[in-house]
Structures are given as structure tokens and as C-alpha cells.
Structure 1
């Protein structure tokens, strides 16, 4: 076996300092018939688990370690076994959990470790001291090697334990430019400024021979590798954290007692529930899952005790009675017909995780609780890696090659959203990019090579792990947000080493629900509980059937709304079916489902024995649980086995499916089915199983949708206030929600100096717009206004008194203009136009207001009424949306026959042919495949906006030039495209000015 210089390879997880991806490294080793691969990045081990897994899959022996740089040189530690891996992982964690690298502290920590299970390669530099050399040698005994480099070879290459150890950052000589570009990006320099970057070593045996006796190098490499086990990271243990229960009894006993107490409390202590509970507990105990359930249950109970809203369930865990009894989920699985085996069963190879939704504005409190309860070393968030995308690659390469920013912007502009993952396709689809590639071939060549390289770490949006031992015994860690540790490995490699991920998700819709309930308590002096809301409220379903689904979780899209209407929705189950079918694939079943649901005919059962399973969904398999039940009914498969079959069908695992098909048909025949009928049923199941949805998840999430629909129905202004507070900087969404409120008959009160709030709120039968939406006001000035209002409300009794107070607190002319324009001073009875025209006089009088007697100061301004079009113009400029009146509303009144013009909000279904009065907001044109020019408009009115396509045949006949902000009447035909309602231009009617 021949070994070349693989001992100090740096992977691409040394961000912007290596071109070597783990898979590329493995491919290189295989190509060169090398049976061993070394992995030792600087300080971190981000890619170690990935590399070990790839190496084992490709019959290559991985040698896993970490390297550290000191003033006296580098030290590389390689794990001989799992104990050695723990030490290596600890060293990496010790360094990565600090804000900075303190050389003396790190050296002291290393020298007190037991190095018996690691191999140490010391790579001295030219200023290395003999004492350091001896210290390391004495600690490591027979596991010690000297690393030879092109700098130190004269001094050390004669030593018996010498190994070539120059660091390698790219595999092939031709990748030098790519590496140089990465260094330029990292250092923020131009490539022609990188003249101090020596051509580093790449993998080449001939080079090694120049610096070390190759036979000695190979001999020592063989000796080193012989001490290393094939797999060091995984010790094949599950690292469930133990739950510290108050009774100090085994967790299996504790979970059982808690569940039975709750069963008694809920008065569900009948045979059906007891049988289900005993079965679930038996499986949970056998799989060692008791502690996991208890930890998650405790976390949820903490949240509820602090008034943090928790979702009713997420994923398949909602099918567990134990989850329900522990308060983890809010769905009784027996009542809703949910299956435990969809979540957990003995036949399942991988362990599932329990995902929990919390209101997003309080998720951090959950993390802090877990951090405090289980300790810094037993709880961690999960690392993600942000990679270089196509646009960033082009920007970075353009910058380091000193290309004009305008040209770089043009390049990235023509990478469409559908091509952000494929540079070749982006170039193929854009003539502009093709021209730039011809002009700058080197940029595109290098960019194509660096796309996909990791650039920096991030934090998984939801995932956390618990561990029964110190985390670094299992996974190297780094410091994360708020001092919480973070796994260095991404989520894909955690389960294999015994760590179960739990998703702690922040859901904005739960925050909205929580806010609405709080607003109701303030505005109506009444309290409501989600537990007390009837799930059969007629008015709520009436709202859903009317298509008024704006702001409602899952149900906002035009396509979903259309299905809700056509389905004649009248239950939470109908909502669940809608969300389950409205996905690519199962969508093809929607027309037939609606037809069957709204028909009195019941001739849809494929088999009478399946009626109890499929009647509720009219003979159409909608849910994965139905697939499992059908397999059990026809072929006597256990539900656990049925779940395995379902998975095989969903993943199109042909080998497994063929195996199960034979067994299914044989068992079906034993149950008195003919072979042809059995095969028909198999294909029927197979067709639906690929797209079947998780019923546990569908019902749980539909409950959130229903809650929101109920709140919108019965507490509409509070509901909209919460929506508006969630889109404070989104002018389009704000305009949409305000328009809907007006349509429902609610009065909107514009920003007022006497309402120095930062949120929308409902009082006195009006929705009040806060001051912080005014452009140019800023949070500090708003804080000042609040403080003045709190200390002296009398200061806001007159306009001069108000302005006088504010002038000493950063009221500039521009802020005065903004406040006047949005109507913040309307409460004093002056028109906005007059206050703007007499701005100088007003400010001068206010400036002397507190220096003379108040009664000697009079503000004598003309009496004038603002024109609606002026108010609209002011508000659009300083708010970004209209409060008093939309310009089109003003013009609409002047149009003869305006009652025949549809509002955009009334366009809810495809194939509506109507006239609309709109303003053009955006125009784009393109050449179609026949060489004709097409046009795409975005148009809007007081109630919303819609995209309108003008085909070339129509566009070429138009006798008018279209322009942005033009007000037009057009006839359109609505259509659904990509689940979004848009329109085709049928006829251009006229321009309104």
C-alpha cells in the first residue's frame, strides 16, 4: 500500500481557505487507488462525520482529527478509537467554545489531557523550542510523529518518526487559481494583489520526495494507520438525556403513572383508552423513549405555565395518546382517528423526533429554560452551513477580478429565481449571460468551481439536541447564540451518533392568535380560551365558504380559497382534507373529491370492506394513515409493518415494494380476495400512497387555521390589528389589510400625535394606525413623543404647545412635514395643505411659544378644506399606503357606470370575465417563441393587485402606449397559474385621467 501526502489535508470547511469538498476528496482517493484518507481541519471538525460516512461507504479508511496552530508550529491530533475521538472532539470544542484563541490557555489544556488514544503529529516551524518538542514527545510516547514541511525539512527530515505534513488546500495543480480566488475573497483583496501566496502543495508524490525519504514516510504512515480503527466517531449508543422526575423513580414507571393520572382526570379510563395506552407505553419503553417524551412534555408544560402559546401538534407525534396525555399535543388521537404507529413502531429503523410549535416571539424563552435546566454541556442548537450561491459566486469573482460593479449587477440580474442552483442552465437561458461568459470566461470558470462551497456557519431554525453525557464526548461543539452550545455537525449526521433532534419551532400564526386574544381582553374586557371555542361554529364556516380567507394560516392562497368554496367546507376535517390535497400530485384528486362530497350518490367504494376506512374521504385515499389501515384490513399487515410498506411506496423503493406486493397478494387471497382483485387493490393503494399526507399533522394544523378563522369571524378588528402589526414595513400587505377592514365597514383612524403608539389597536369602534409607520420619524423620536405624552398630556392640547415641546426634542422641518402630511395634526382642526404652506410661520411661533405668555400667541391660519387627491398624495409619500381615500376611489366616482367595474378583491375564481379599473404598477415585455412581443402588467386598485398577461396578438393591436401609474379600464379573464390567480387581457377599454 502506498501513501502520499494526505496527512494534513484541509477541507472546504476551513471556510474560504480550501477547495476540497469531502466528496471530491473521496473521489480523488478512489481514482488514485488510495485506501486511507486523513481529515484534520484547523480548530473545527465540521465535516468530520460527513467524511467518515463517505469514506466507509467507499471502502476507504478514514483517519479523523483536528489541527491547531501555535507560534511554535502546528499540532495535529488523530483519534485511534472512540476514546481518542472524544479527546479530539473535546480539544476542538474547547477551542471553538471560546471567543478567541488564547495560545497559553489552549496549550495548557492540551498538555493535561491523556493522549494515549490519539496520534500526535507535531509540525514545528523554524522558531520552535526544544522544550516544546520534548513536552509533546514525553506526553505521547509511541504515538508521536514529526511533520516535515518545505520550511523545516533541513532540520527534521532525518528523524526516524518523520512524516511529510505540509498542509494541502487543493487536490490538483490546476485548482491553484480557484484557491487563490478564495483567499482573495476571504481577505477582501483583488486577485492581482495576492502576490504573497506561495503555490501550496497539492497531492503529488514527486514533490514529497524532494523533502523526505519516501520509504521512511510510507513506513511511518503504515505504522500510524495500523493503530487507527475503521470507525471512531460512532460508539453505537443512544444518548437520551435522563429526565429528573420529582418522584425519583425510573422514567418508565414515572411516565406510566403520569399518563394514568391524566387518563383518570380526563375521564377517559375505559377499555379502549387503556388498551391503547398500554400498547403505546410498551413500545415507548422497549425503544427507550420514555425520557424523551418526558423532557418534551416538561418543556411544553413550562411554556404553558408562562402563558406561551403552544401549537396543538405537529407531524406524526399528534397520533400518540401518550403525547396527548402529557400535554405535548392537544388532539385526542382516538377521537380524531389518528395512528400511533405512524409515529413510532418497533419495526421502524430510524427514531422519530417530536416537533413542537411555539409562538415565535417567545421561542427564545424555551431555549433559555432548557439551557438552564439541563446544563450547558447537555443541550445544544444545531449548526447549518451557508454555501456560496450562483449570484454570490459571480459577485465575489467580479469583485476580486476588478470588474465594474455595473457589469456584475447585470450578470446577477439575469440569473432567474428558477436557475439559482444551476449556473449552466442560467447561462443557457440568458443571452446576456452568454455574452458575459464570452467576455469574462475566467470569471465564469472559477465561479462554477466555488459554487456550493460552505462560506460560514448558521443556526438551524428549529433543531436542538439533548445528550446524557457531555456533548463533546459525542459531537464537537462551538459557541452559539446567547452562550448556548451548537453542534459542529449538521443535522444529517446526528442521529447516526445517537442524538435525536427535536424541532422547537417559532410559528408566527400562534403569535397572531396570542396577540388577538390579548387585544380582545383590552378592547372588549372579555377573556376567551382556545379550549372553549366550539369547533362547529356556523359563522366561521360561513366565512371560509365565502372565500374571505385573507390572513388565515394555510388558507390564504387563491387556489386553497377556491377549493374551500367548492368543497362547501363545514368542518375542521374539511380544512384538513383541503390542505392535504392541495399539493403537487394529489391536486388531481380535488375535482373528483369535490364532486363526490357534494353529490348524493355514494357509488365510490372500491371495496365494501374498506368503507369504514374510506367513507370519510369518499373513497379517495387522502392520508398515509388510511394507506396503513387498508394494508392491515386486506392483508393482515401489522400497522407497524404497514408503515414500512407506506414508506417504501412513498420513496418508490422498487425492491421493497416487489417484496411486499407478493406478501400482500398472498395474504389477500387468504382473506378470500381473488388474485386479480388483490392486484387491483395493490395498485390502488400504490397510486395514493405516493402522495398521501400525514393525517396527524393535517388535523393539528387545520385546528390552527380554524382558530384563526374563528377569531377573524368574531373579533375581526383585533384580528386585523395583529396582522397589521406583523407587516409594519410591508406597504403592500398593509394596504391590503386596511382595504379589507374598510370593506367590512370598520373606520380607520390615521396616525395622530395624540396616539404615540407603535402598534395598531382597536378602540372606540376604530382601528388606530400607530405613529411609527410614518416615514422619517424613527424609533428614538417616537420614544420622545411617548415620554412627553406620559409626563404632560396637557402639552398636546394645542398645536403650538405640541410643536414647541417637540422642537426641543429633535423635531426637524422634515419630521414636521411628515407628521402634517399623514394627518398627525388633524386633531387640531387645521388642513394639512395650510399647515404645509405656512410651515415657517408655525415653526417660528412655536419656537417662541414657551418664552412669552401663551395667551399672546395666536395661530391665525386660513380656513381651507383638503382635497381628497391631495390627502392621497401626502399619505402615499409618507406612509406608503392610503388611509383617507385611494386615488382610484376618487376617480371611480366620476366614471359613468362605475357600478359595473369589479374590484380586484372580488376576483376569487378562474374564468371570470369582467371589467376592472386599475392603475399600472409595473410593466415588462418579452419576445415569445414566434418572435412576437408579449407584455406583462402588474395592476392594482383600492383592494389589491393582480398580474395581467397580454399575448403578442393582442399587444400588437393596442393603439396606446402603456406607462406606469396610468389609470385604465380593461376587460380581463381570470386564470389559475402556479396556484396563483392572474389574468389575461381580453380588451383594452380606455385611459382615465
Structure 2
């Protein structure tokens, strides 16, 4: 029989359905469906993936959506009705997407559509009345509804019955059948499946926390504060319990359907709809927007000529190398039709710079292009850094290249808006969040009613579900892991459409903005331009420094500098892009960094793959002269000399096969890809060919095979040298600014981290360790940090709740409170707690006084300070609460009499759990001690005891916590003393 469940959900119906696309298709084939439909709630996000997955499985896809229908969009109510919409053809698919987009723009709790939307976008669409939550449940309007829908959709409008086992469904089916006869509208039978297999019923309930939610609803009824609220909760409880009470929302077999609803005509109608639905989605085309210029190739050449002059290529000794490379690249770029793309990127970057925006030096393989450098797309001279153009693009490359761009994080959205204004259709791209093992543990804990702290302890110590020892948690977590749980927005991907986006995806509402509701890989397959526009706070920091310094030209700083080298060699890398971690700092100091090229290598060495195979140790030992540099063939020396004989970069691998076996760079890039993907069959065939071709050039198999084996071994970790060069240059620039303008650099980095208390505390402490005095925020200061010689005064924006503080009357103490009592309490509390308005008085007195001032009761009485109030806090505790750092000692409130030598009191600022290679749990701690902020590690101590913000006594040995206990609070607490910083003004 030609049949499928035309009303069917996957986990793209987030927080409603359970099954993956693959599970649904597998089940459909097992039970004899001739097609598989997808009608997720209010979204078309999964449709193209569903289409592709069905094609791969050899079964017909039916593409649809369960929309939220409103009889009147002008009436703001949470009432809405479900409506099934199916695409008959490609135009119907486009209209489905348009309806989804319409719903996003008329969002009120749900994305809503109405009659007007249906009339406008009805072509190519089949509509049916959905489930018991459909429009027919409205007795007053359903007759009009049937008439209007018949008028809009003609013979493509159907009524819908379902076989679920609850009273409301049976009554609803009778009404539908009567209406079908009365108005001569055909009826179909559907299953409204939310999971594929019957045995997944409980997993579905657990995934949605249904049983837990019902229990919570009973508690709400029990403790409702009014009869009206109690009735509301009862209605919600009964509706939920009844709808899911039948526990039969799996994909039904035809026999199961017929046992409940035997009318063959309904099934015949389903078959007719399947035959009507024939959507085709084209792939592999190019739909990039057209840059408004007559001759893109000429535009590129002219931009290169301008760059040729700016960079003084004519005066270089190796000018011919540049000239030949430019000609080669221009030919290739025209051949692969990338000129229009280059124009779009160049124009975007030029516009941003004209707006005073800081842009990145480049990112990724495009750094290997001399044309990109001359156009100003990158700031990396590929000849100077020994890069390879063919890593970016070549005629033999089968996938289109990407040009990744970096902008100031604070101004990224301006760039997206510019692209939208110029081309008409540009949107950030949706991402899909799946439950990983750790999140699955937390979810399992909620289902089982376990303590969140216990689940955190378990999740901290696992990499995979199989690592969980608790059987009940393991089994529960395994049912929800890898399920789609939420949508979000991609950090950098922006889709640019040449015309109405509905031809490729819908535009839906996410995170306060409208987004392209498809995975960007899917959009790229359809030929849509995906721009990678990443926001980097590092660029905000650099821009902040340069605006303060004014005399520094960041593009002209020396690439080898003694002052910068001294800073790097001392390990003073905190706050420096890419190299501030312990691992990176260790590499920087051990290779005795003195130039930008050392940081380029560091960016590549400090990667997981290199570290996993211990190649970092080989590189360092050779750089220090402790191990000789050896080459397996003389031709390798010029390629590997500057990386101590280590194959560190993808470009080096490409150069090796070119030098030893005569590969073109395009062929070399293909081989590089094969080795990197670890597909053994392809690797073996490719290596055999490499050995054979090297043999034809006179290199014996005994010599070439060890080289081939080394290439295979390094394939898992070799890095893109172009990317490393760009980020190494950015790191060098940060190091240079920190070395030459330390207090300004610290002020800038503190400014961009006001919202992150842990980072703020780390940078404050690092500044103090390097001779920069940090002064607490002051009401006469600025929102941002201000600087003097070796001094930084924290900006008022560092105070929690005060980032938007703008207008107020300057005074101190109670006078300030009297003049500014209309400010919101969060800001006033922050200013008091931070000490910004101190005039020698008691901060607890200020807090009580402002509460008294804001009290509008006539009976509030005269103000009196209660020195014994339980709300009174020490200065240290106050500052920790609003700054994440204390300028006053909080430890005077605790018994720390045992703290001598390596035993210290410490406030826990953060706990980051890890596992050793053998699976043993440990954690990194960030703590504040009387001597500053420290990074520690725990191995033997149970780190799950530590609670952020609490004070502990730690025994520390070489940065390792070997013993710990909670600190005992003194009663009453003593008045804290000032630290040296405050004493000095």
C-alpha cells in the first residue's frame, strides 16, 4: 500500500519530539512505508537534511511543517492552532519556507500564521487540520475555517483523524468525520509520531522530562496562591496528561492504524497525497551575490596593482618572484571563477576600515594568496612566510575555498548589517545543539531526581557515556545523548543570498535576531555564499590601545624587537592572543622566542595533535641544541630547516611531495587532504602512487618509504601555516603593545573583560605582579579604565550592573545617595559595595541608608543605622560580590591561624575539571590568596568539594593542592584591614 504517516516529527521539533532523521527512515523502511514525511513544529530547519537522508536511503521524502495558526494576529493571545502543511513541488517548498519566515516575523510565544499568509503562499501546498490541537477544536469558527481553507487550497485541503487512545481523540475523530461528510472534504489518517519505535516511548518522556513536569505541575496545584491560579495549573496538567496519556506516539504500522481506523478511503487519500508530493532540491549550483562591477577580474587586478605600489614590491630584490606569482594566481583565480568572491570580501574589509574598524591580519588558507595580500584581504606576505597558494585554491580542488575574516567583536554586527544593506539578504546562521555526554548526564539527573551537585561530579569525570559507573545514570544518559536539544546562532557564519532566501531556507527567530534556519554546510551545498565574519575581542583590545597611544602604527612595528623578546622569554604572556595558556607559555619560553616567526611556530606547536605525539618536545629539544636535526633526504632540508626538521605544516607536506615525486601543487593538496582524513584505503593507494612517482625521479623505495611513513604519521597534526602566520602576527602585535605600553595594554584588556569576573581578577593580579598598580573604581573616574604611569584605575563599568551607567551627580557618601536615589538599586548597590563612593564612612551604613531613602512609606520613621544587622558585610566580601576581586582582605573574617608556609587561605574563583590520559579526574583551580590570584591543580584532593566564592584552607606544593578544608568563619568577623594598594592611594 502507498502509505506513510504524513504528520510526523523529528527532534528538530525541539523539546517536543525525540527521534533522529535516520531512526525515522529506518523505521519507515522496516514497516513498509513508501515515503517518509517531516512536519516539525513551526520550523523548516530539518527539511533539507531530511531530503538528503531520504535520498541516501532510497525512500521518497515528504517535506512539510506543522504551523501555528491564528484566526486573528491582531489579538495578542497565547491561543493558537496546529496546521499541517506539505509541499507538493519546489514552489510549494519555497512557500513553506515563506510561511515559516512569516511566522517568525509575527512571533507571539509561537511563530504565527493566518489566513492572509496562507492565501499569499498557498501555491504548491497541501493543508490538513492536524491533531486535536488543530483549528477544528474551535466550535464557533470551524465551519468558517473549512469554507475559507477550501477556497484557498481547493482539492489540496484535507481533514485529519488520528488513532490515539484517549477520550478527546475519539470524540474529535467523530466530529471530523461528520464535518468531512457535511462539507465533502476528504479525510486522511495520520499518526502524529514523536518517536520512531514503540519502545522509545519512555525515552521520549524522559527526554522531554514529561513525567517530572507533570509532578511539578501537581506541586504547583497543591501550593497555588489562589483559586484562579489553581484552576490554571489544573487545566495545564489535564491537557498535558491527556495528550501524552495514550503513550502511543510512535510510527504506527499500517495494520496498527487499520485496527483502530479501518476506513480504506482515508488511506487511499494518503496515497494520493504521496503521489502529489514531488519536491526536488537542486545542489551544486553557484548562487553567490554579484558584486556590482562590470569586470570583477579587472577590479581584482586594479586592487593588486594598488597593493603592489603600497607594499613597494618594485623595490624588492626578489621582485620577479612576486611578479610571477601574481600572474600565476590571477590566472588560477579567473579559471576557478573566484574573482566575484574576492571583490565581495575586499569591499567588505575596505568598508569596515573606512568606518574606523579594526580588522584581523587574516585567517586560514587564504593567507597563502599573494593576491589576497596585495588586495588587503590579509596582512600576510605569503612569500615572506613561505606559504603555498595552492593550499588556498587550485584547479584540482573539488570544494570551494573559504576566506575567513576577523573584526572587532564589539562591531561585528555592523559588518553583517553592511552586507545586508548592500546585497539585500544576509543573515547569521542557525546552529543545532546536541546533547554531549556531560550534558546527557545532567539531563539524566533531572529525570531521576538526583542532586545537581552529584551529577556535576559525575559529568566532570567522563569523556564518554561508557565511563559512567552509576548504572541507572548511564542507561538514562545513553537514551538522550546526541539528541538535538536547542538552537543557537553561529559565532561567525553569515549566509548571503542573491534573492529571496526562501529558495534555500526559511528565516526564523533566534537569540533576539532573525537567522538563516539551516546548517551552513547545507547552504553551501546549495551554492549559497557563507561569509565567515568572526568577532575577536583581541581586536577590540588592540584598537583600544592604539586609540590611547595614537602614535603607534601597528602595521609598521618591527617583527623582531628586544623589549618584546624579553617579555616573551620571561613568560609574561597573560592577556596575549593565542599564547597565554600554560602550554603555550612553556613553548614560548623554551624556544627562546625573539621574533614573530617564533610565535608563528608556537601557534602550530601548541595544538592537541602535536602535543599528543610529543612532537613539541622534539621541536624544543632541537631548537635548544639538545638533539641533532636530521633529514631523511637532502631535498627535505630547505623545506624543513626553519622548523628544526619537523614536518609541522600542511604546506611543508605539499612541498615534500612536489620536490620528491614531481607532484603539482594541486595534486599535492589532494594528497594532503587524503592523509589528513585518515581513510586507510585511500592513504595506502595514495602512498603507493607517491612511492612509484618518487622512484621514477630516481629515489629508491628504501629511502622514500620512511619519508612516506613520516608523512602519514604527521597527517594527524600538521597545521595550516597560513593560519598560523596570521595568528602568530596578531600574537606578536599584542606582545609588542604589552611590552611597550604595559599600563595601557592592561587598561584595554580589563575594559573588554568587565563582564567576566574570573578573567578580571586574573588580569588585575597579573598587572600587579608586573609592577602596575590597580586602583579600585572611583565615582569621579570613567566608565572605562584610566591610566597613569604604571597605574590603572578600574572603570566604573567593572562593577556588576554598572556597565550602562551614564548620567549621575558626582558626590561621595550619603550625599551621593541623596542626590542619586532614583538610580536603580543594582547600580547603587554596586557603587557602594565597590567602594566607588567611599568618603570614610561605613558601606553597610550606606546600604541601609539608601534602602531607607527609597522607602516611600510615610511610617518609615527616622533613619538609624543598625550595626548588628545580619546583612552587614565586610568590605572584602562586598568587593568580591560586585568585582570578583577584593582590594581588602576577606580572610580576616576567617580563622586562618594555621596558615603558614605552604598552607594558605584561598577564595575559589573557578573550578575546571579534566581527566588524565588514563582517565583519572583532576581539576584546575583559580583562587585568590593573600598574595594574589593563583592557578592551581588538584590530583589527589576531591575537587568536587570546592564551591565558587567560598573560602578554604589549602596546602600547596609546587602549584598542586595536596590537602584542603573549609575555612571556619570568625564570630563576630573582625573589621578588615586595607591592603598595600589602597594604603598607597
Is the structural similarity TM-score above 0.5? yes
CA-to-aligned-CA distance 1:753-804 (integer Å, 9 cap, x gap): 433x2222103653213345567x8568x64xx5323xxxxx67xx78x558
Which of 562, 569, 577 pairs up with 1:553? Answer: 577
CA-to-aligned-CA distance 1:867-916 (integer Å, 9 cap, x gap): xxx9878866775534378979xx99x99xx9xx9xxxxxxxxxxxxx75
SS of 2:577 mapped into structure 1: coil
Which of 640, 643, 652 pairs up with 1:626? Answer: 652
Q: Which residue of 2 aligns with 1:759?
A: 784
Which of 97, 111, 119 pairs up with 1:89? Answer: 97
Q: Which residue of 1 aligns with 2:403?
A: 354
- 1:5 touches 1:164 (CA, 8 Å); kept in 2? no
Alignment of 1:22 with 2:71, yes or no, is: no
Q: Which residue of 1 aligns with 2:532?
A: 503
Q: Which residue of 1 aligns with 2:340?
A: 291
CA-to-aligned-CA distance 1:448-484 (integer Å, 9 cap, x gap): 544544344221111111122311112222245676x
SS of 1:649 mapped into structure 2: helix
Cα deviation, residue 674, structure 1: 0.8
- 1:946 touches 1:983 (CA, 8 Å); kept in 2? no
Cα deviation, residue 280, structure 1: 2.3
Alignment of 1:101 with 2:112, yes or no, is: yes
- 1:875 touches 1:882 (CA, 8 Å); kept in 2? yes
Alignment of 1:54 with 2:53, yes or no, is: yes
Q: Which residue of 1 aligns with 2:983?
A: none
Instruction: Out of 120-129 and 362-371, give the one that drifted further.
Output: 120-129
Structure 1 residues 94-493: aligned runs within 5 Å? 94-99=102-107, 100-111=111-122, 113=123, 115=124, 125=136, 147-149=160-162, 151=173, 152-153=176-177, 156=180, 162-179=187-204, 189-190=214-215, 193=237, 194-197=240-243, 199=246, 202=250, 203-210=252-259, 216=265, 219-229=268-278, 232-245=280-293, 249-268=294-313, 270-375=319-424, 378-387=425-434, 407-419=450-462, 422=465, 425-426=467-468, 428=469, 430=470, 448-480=478-510, 485-493=514-522
Q: In 2 relative to 1, CA 208–951 (structure 1 residues): closer, same or farther, beyond 3 Å?
A: closer
CA distance in 2, matches of 1:155, 1:25: 32
CA distance in 2, matches of 1:921, 1:704: 34
Q: In 2 relative to 1, CA 214–633 (structure 1 residues): closer, same or farther, beyond 3 Å?
A: farther
Q: Which residue of 1 aligns with 2:933?
A: 944
Structure 1 residues 395-794: aligned runs within 5 Å? 407-419=450-462, 422=465, 425-426=467-468, 428=469, 430=470, 448-480=478-510, 485-520=514-549, 526-587=550-611, 588-599=614-625, 603-728=629-754, 730-755=756-781, 757-763=782-788, 765-771=790-796, 773=798, 783=806, 787-789=808-810
SS of 1:9 mapped into structure 2: coil
CA-to-aligned-CA distance 1:248-270 (integer Å, 9 cap, x gap): x1323332333334334434365
Cα deviation, residue 221, structure 1: 4.7
- 2:445 touches 2:455 (CA, 8 Å); kept in 1? no
Cα deviation, residue 717, structure 1: 0.3
CA distance in 1, matches of 2:833, 2:214: 49
SS of 2:313 mapped into structure 1: coil
CA distance in 1, matches of 2:249, 2:823: 61
CA distance in 2, matches of 1:345, 1:933: 46
Which of 881, 885, 902 pairs up with 1:881? Answer: 885
CA-to-aligned-CA distance 1:249-304 (integer Å, 9 cap, x gap): 13233323333343344343654333322332333333332222211111111111
Cα deviation, residue 619, structure 1: 1.2
Alignment of 1:9 with 2:30, yes or no, is: no
CA distance in 1, matches of 2:817, 2:537: 41
CA distance in 1, matches of 2:838, 2:355: 41
Computing the radius of gyration over CA atoms, which structure comes out larger, 1 or 2?
Answer: 1
Cα deviation, residue 610, structure 1: 2.0
SS of 2:241 mapped into structure 1: coil
CA-to-aligned-CA distance 1:627-659 (integer Å, 9 cap, x gap): 011111111111111111111111111222122
SS of 1:196 mapped into structure 2: helix
CA-to-aligned-CA distance 1:788-829 (integer Å, 9 cap, x gap): 23xxxxx67xx78x5585476669999699749847546xxx
Q: In 2 relative to 1, CA 712–164 (structure 1 residues): closer, same or farther, beyond 3 Å?
A: same
Q: If the length of structure 1 is used for normalisation, what is the TM-score? A: 0.77
Cα deviation, residue 17, structure 1: 2.6
- 2:370 touches 2:382 (CA, 8 Å); kept in 1? yes
Q: In 2 relative to 1, CA 528–619 (structure 1 residues): closer, same or farther, beyond 3 Å?
A: same
Q: In 2 relative to 1, CA 743–104 (structure 1 residues): closer, same or farther, beyond 3 Å?
A: same
Cα deviation, residue 547, structure 1: 0.8
Structure 1 residues 954-965: aligned runs within 5 Å? none
Q: In 2 relative to 1, CA 415–501 (structure 1 residues): closer, same or farther, beyond 3 Å?
A: farther
Q: In 2 relative to 1, CA 616–635 (structure 1 residues): closer, same or farther, beyond 3 Å?
A: same
CA-to-aligned-CA distance 1:415-473 (integer Å, 9 cap, x gap): 32343763x533x1x5xxx5x76xxxxxx866654454434422111111112231111
- 1:817 touches 1:836 (CA, 8 Å); kept in 2? no
CA distance in 1, matches of 2:922, 2:6: 60
Q: Which residue of 2 aligns with 1:958?
A: none
Cα deviation, residue 969, structure 1: 7.7
Q: In 2 relative to 1, CA 528–937 (structure 1 residues): closer, same or farther, beyond 3 Å?
A: closer
CA-to-aligned-CA distance 1:606-640 (integer Å, 9 cap, x gap): 21112221111121111000001111111111111
Instruction: Out of 153-162 and 500-509, give the one that drifted further.
Output: 153-162
Cα deviation, residue 169, structure 1: 2.6
- 2:541 touches 2:748 (CA, 8 Å); kept in 1? yes
- 1:717 touches 1:762 (CA, 8 Å); kept in 2? yes
SS of 1:373 mapped into structure 2: helix
Instruction: Out of 100-109 and 187-196, give the one that drifted further.
Output: 187-196
- 2:654 touches 2:672 (CA, 8 Å); kept in 1? yes
- 1:950 touches 1:985 (CA, 8 Å); kept in 2? no
SS of 2:242 mapped into structure 1: coil
- 1:478 touches 1:487 (CA, 8 Å); kept in 2? yes
- 1:157 touches 1:211 (CA, 8 Å); kept in 2? no
Q: In 2 relative to 1, CA 380–819 (structure 1 residues): closer, same or farther, beyond 3 Å?
A: closer
CA-to-aligned-CA distance 1:13-50 (integer Å, 9 cap, x gap): 22233223212101212333444212223442111112
Q: If the length of structure 2 is used for normalisation, what is the TM-score? A: 0.78
CA distance in 1, matches of 2:626, 2:952: 51
Q: Which residue of 2 aligns with 1:864?
A: none
Q: In 2 relative to 1, CA 302–61 (structure 1 residues): closer, same or farther, beyond 3 Å?
A: same
- 2:751 touches 2:795 (CA, 8 Å); kept in 1? no
Q: CA RMSD in A?
A: 4.6
Q: In 2 relative to 1, CA 814–207 (structure 1 residues): closer, same or farther, beyond 3 Å?
A: closer
- 1:313 touches 1:330 (CA, 8 Å); kept in 2? yes
Aligned length: 873
Instruction: Out of 634-643 and 129-138, give the one that drifted further.
Output: 129-138
Q: Which residue of 2 aligns with 1:912?
A: none
Q: Which residue of 2 aligns with 1:855?
A: none
- 1:353 touches 1:500 (CA, 8 Å); kept in 2? no
- 2:754 touches 2:799 (CA, 8 Å); kept in 1? no
CA distance in 2, matches of 1:283, 1:236: 20
CA-to-aligned-CA distance 1:829-874 (integer Å, 9 cap, x gap): x5x6xx679989999xx99xxxxxxxxxxxxxxxxxxxxxx98788
Q: Which runs of 5+ in 2 are unaligned?
A: 72-80, 164-172, 219-236, 855-873, 943-948, 965-973, 975-985
CA distance in 1, matches of 2:522, 2:194: 24
CA distance in 2, matches of 1:671, 1:840: 84
- 2:416 touches 2:427 (CA, 8 Å); kept in 1? no
Q: In 2 relative to 1, CA 187–385 (structure 1 residues): closer, same or farther, beyond 3 Å?
A: farther
Cα deviation, residue 412, structure 1: 2.8
- 1:189 touches 1:400 (CA, 8 Å); kept in 2? no
Q: Which residue of 2 aligns with 1:32?
A: 31
